[in-house]
Amino acid sequence: MPKRSKNTIFVQMASYRDPQLIPTVLDLINNARHPELLHICICWQHGDDESFSQFLQAGFTLSCFDQRQDDPYTRVMATKAKTKVTILDLNYLESKGACWARYHIQTFYAQEKYTLQLDSHHRFVPGWDEQCITMLESVRGKSKKPILTAYIPSFDPTNDPEERVSVPWKMNFDRFIPEGAVFFSPSAIDDYKERTKPLRSRFYSAHFCFADGTFCRDVPHDPEYFFHGEEISVGVRAFTHGYDLFHPHQILAWHEYTRQGRTKIWDDHTTTTKNGGQIDLDWVERNTMSHRRNRILFGMDGEDPTQIDFGRFGFGTERTLRQYEEYAGISFQYRGVQQATLDGVEPPVDFPYDSEAEWKASLARSNDVHICVHKNELEEIVDDFDFFFVGAHDKDGTELYRKDLPRDDIYRHLASDSGFIDFRLIFLSSQIPASYTVWPHSQSKGWIGKLTKPVG
């Protein structure tokens, strides 16, 4: 292991109106073997109900309040247990999203040897700093630029530590959403007890990433991204810059996933708020622009990647986008995925495809069809629906996928305030879905009024 005096860690933490922020920072510091080697930078996007008194009550010492002319925040220096803390203090209405916040945090990188990117709702194992370093260095022989990243196990702050998950997690492919971003899902690393080193990963998590500090400089967050698309874009950009992704084979920390009842940016940055002159763009507008930027980056859906000069927010030159696709077993052009990727098999390290036809043949198309039908569109509402046929079809009307919506789900949708039957039909096929059908069935009347709508 490198000398301890050199093992400085730049901790990146974006926080949006999160009551778990200070408990997270305290747990981070208290469980570090060397808190004096940490530099924590927090983008503190807060409401009027949050103040610096909360930091003072938690034992932080504050100094050096500084606002530069072009910055949207006030920079505040703080210390706690010999830990250096930089707080970027701004009102939540000044925020432009998670990636924008992470970008500003990274401008305060000060050549620390390592970096750890987090959210603001975590708990940590004792000695997490030494364990992260040891684990990262253990794969240095396989990779000159390794990254430890994962959807780490969950905890519940209302019942902690009793509900901390005790098995390390990895990331699996979930789906391409219609807007183009890739979604992931967590699953257990079943053989973690037999493993002595991290396992290779296809994907990157924004809520836990430990890497060399130079990662902040090499692959900075794109401030024009809003939220979705962040993880797949950073992960692929990292790969093309020569970084290799690994999942920790042991638990290093826990993450709160639900944040139930907490205010999120899409609760605040609404059309009403925009019309009131408090923000320039609402979250839907920012999200729409972000999704398009992501499709352009990957050349999806016919978008020309050269129409935007991404500069330092684009791909690297050490590997190509195609090499990442073959490594990860996914295709952005075809919205496709390989079976090994669906099965969560540890990814390969070679690229065996010699032709486009061979590559395309190895993929199944990932489809995500948004089913949205209002109850007023149904021909008749009866009391004894037993199921709804829901099917997706290609342009010729051939059925690609079918799912029967059961009775309890039907009545739950019909009883909602919106009156919409609203869910997603996710499936694999070689064809592109063009339409979907909702066909109610009742016990007394049989089939009632087939309803077909175009996809999109």
For residues 281 and 224, is the Cβ–Cβ distance under 8 A? Answer: no
Residues 156 and 209 in one domain: yes
351 has a pLDDT exceeding 80? no
Give the list of residues 6+ apart from residue 418 with CB closer than 8 angstroms, or none: none
**What CATH number is given to the structural domain containing 31?**
3.90.550.10
Residues 344 and 378 in one domain: no
Exposed/middle/buried for 14, CB within 10 Å: 0-12, 13-18, 19+?
buried
How many domains in the chain?
2
Residues 345 and 380 in one domain: no
Residues 357 and 382 in one domain: no
CA-based nearest residue to 24, from 120, 154, 138: 120
Write down which residue in 342, 362, 382 finishes a domain. 362
Residues 355 and 400 in one domain: no
For residue 280, CA distances in Å to 44, 74, 94, 276 come to: 20, 20, 9, 10
Residues 239 and 180 in one domain: yes
The pLDDT tens digits for 245-267 are 999 999 999 999 987 778 999 99
Residues 152 and 79 in one domain: yes
Residues 317 and 425 in one domain: no
CA-based nearest residue to 131, from 235, 33, 56: 33
430 has a pLDDT exceeding 80? no
Per-residue confidence band for 244, with pLDDT thresholds at 50, 70 and 90: very high
Residues 112 and 71 in one domain: yes
Tokens of 263: 């205010």
Helix ranges (DSSP H) in 277-415:
283-298, 321-328, 339-342, 356-361, 407-415
User: Rounded to 5 degrees, what are φ and ψ at 102?
Assistant: -65, -35
Give the list of residues 6+ apart from residue 322 with CB closer than 8 angstroms, or none: none
The pLDDT tens digits for 359-412 are 988 898 888 898 988 888 888 888 888 999 999 999 999 999 999 989 888 888
pLDDT of residue 209: 98
Could you give the strand order of the β-sheet that contains 336-337, starting from the edge strand earlier in sequence?
330-331, 336-337, 364-374, 420-429
344 has a pLDDT exceeding 50? yes
Per-residue confidence band for 104, with pLDDT thresholds at 50, 70 and 90: very high
pLDDT of residue 349: 64
Residues 370 and 447 in one domain: yes
Ramachandran region of residue 446, left (φ > 0), alpha (ψ -120 to 50) or beta? Answer: left
48 has a pLDDT exceeding 50? yes
Would you give the distance in Å from CA 86 to the centre of its chain?
Answer: 24
Write down which residue in 362, 393, 414 finishes a domain. 362
What is the DSSP secondary structure assignment for residue 152, as one 8-state letter? P
Q: What is the mean pLDDT of residues 103-128?
A: 97
Domain hosting residue 374, numbered range: 366-454
Write down which residue in 362, 383, 408 finishes a domain. 362
Residues 78 and 143 in one domain: yes
Q: What is the mean pLDDT of residues 175-194?
A: 94
**What CATH number is given to the structural domain containing 435?**
2.60.40
314 has a pLDDT exceeding 60? yes
What pTM value is reported for the model?
A: 0.88
Residues 385 and 446 in one domain: yes
